[in-house]
Structure 1
């Protein structure tokens, strides 16, 4: 497992929620954790919005200045270099949800070439642009081309927000397992909310990763 983990995926994939919970999981393993919010695409679901919760759990958060948050500007904080230079951190990167957002990673290419990384591609089969295997592969290739990085792991996060059922989780798990088999990539884990975890455990192809929901749009 690499020290640097990059989480990316289509808008609505749940990659920010997954990244947040993964950072909290690492912190729970007594790791020194830094979460870098590089989501310059979606102004409504950004991990910087739950910065206080993360910091209360000992997680360092690197993000755009508060005055620029939700401004839909391509602002990459210079502090991001810390995650590459300070090897004592376990790093989780939350990267923008399309190929334009992934361009943000391109400028750090020399760092990624110098050190191993894991890049998790989060898939929600209920999103229109990732509803078929062909669409997932096309979208993943766009992300890889834009970021100049390679996806190393797939994550299943098929959901319907608060209306997600066990059937949704299991169908998404099977969907991603088939893609992972075709690409010969690890199916890292299948995400579900903690209240569904007991019902899906033992029925999935990949390990189950239970999460807590932190991100909500302003109208909820």
Structure 2
């Protein structure tokens, strides 16, 4: 991983669960990690919900002052540009679609001034989510995020799943979809994620634990 990883995607694609797993993996390897909860639109499934888990692993969390309150106010109460220059890794969990990514635009110039080879922006995809069932739909949403954020993605993360109903075949069936998106976007397919218990043989595997669950699965 590069020093800065920005994670975007469609609502419910699994951005937050990926961010949590990435942060824990780095922390467990002895790295200094800061996670920015940049979801200033959707009050559900935020990385701020995992403050206790992060604290127990020595991970720093930066979130809106209104996170985990009854107020859903798009306010940013931290200096993300300063964090980018501090030692350690920075993982930024961005809200869904272009509405959630619009706040990134204010940091585009500052990040572009940073050493380019130390920053990645990954687009998380889920073949089984509404409005992203076809590569064309998924790519349209990705371009909309790039337009409002004034930043370009550098890779695709295939997080296709059906929640607790996910099987190994569910993952395998989504591989051609993910590969086609990567081909059309002219970007690398960075990871294919899957639950640790599934043990699937796929290119660039990234086994994860499922920390983010719908209310009906908790």
TM-score with structure 2 setting the length: 0.92
CA, structure 1 residues 67+84, in 2 after alignment: closer, same or farther (shift >3 Å)?
closer
**SS of structure 2 residue aligned to 1:141:** helix
Cα separation, 2, equivalents of 1:66 and 1:58: 22
Equivalent residue, structure 2, for 1:35: 35
Equivalent residue, structure 1, for 2:212: 215
Select between 22-31 and 32-41 the one with higher mean Cα deviation: 22-31
Equivalent residue, structure 1, for 2:101: 102
**Does the Cα contact within 8 Å between 2:62 and 2:78 map onto a contact in 1?**
no
Q: Structure 1 regions of 5+ residues with no counterpart?
A: none
Q: 1:145 aligned to 2:144?
A: no
What is the aligned counterpart of 1:194 among 190, 193, 196?
196
Q: Structure 2 regions of 5+ residues with no counterpart?
A: none
**Does the Cα contact within 8 Å between 1:157 and 1:190 map onto a contact in 2?**
yes
**Number of corresponding residues:** 214
**Does the Cα contact within 8 Å between 2:34 and 2:91 map onto a contact in 1?**
yes
1:134 CA drift (Å):
0.6
1:85 CA drift (Å):
3.2
1:11-50 alignment to 2 at 5 Å? 11-50=11-50
Equivalent residue, structure 2, for 1:164: 166
Root-mean-square deviation (Å) = 1.6
**SS of structure 1 residue aligned to 2:91:** strand
1:128-168: CA deviation from partner (whole Å, max 9, x where unpaired): 21110110111110010011110100010111111111111
1:154-195: CA deviation from partner (whole Å, max 9, x where unpaired): 010111111111111112222111221232211000011111
Cα separation, 1, equivalents of 2:17 and 2:70: 17
Cα separation, 2, equivalents of 1:70 and 1:120: 30
TM-score with structure 1 setting the length: 0.91
Cα separation, 2, equivalents of 1:168 and 1:48: 29
1:62-141 alignment to 2 at 5 Å? 62-65=62-65, 69=69, 71-86=71-86, 88-115=87-114, 116=116, 117-141=119-143
**SS of structure 2 residue aligned to 1:128:** coil
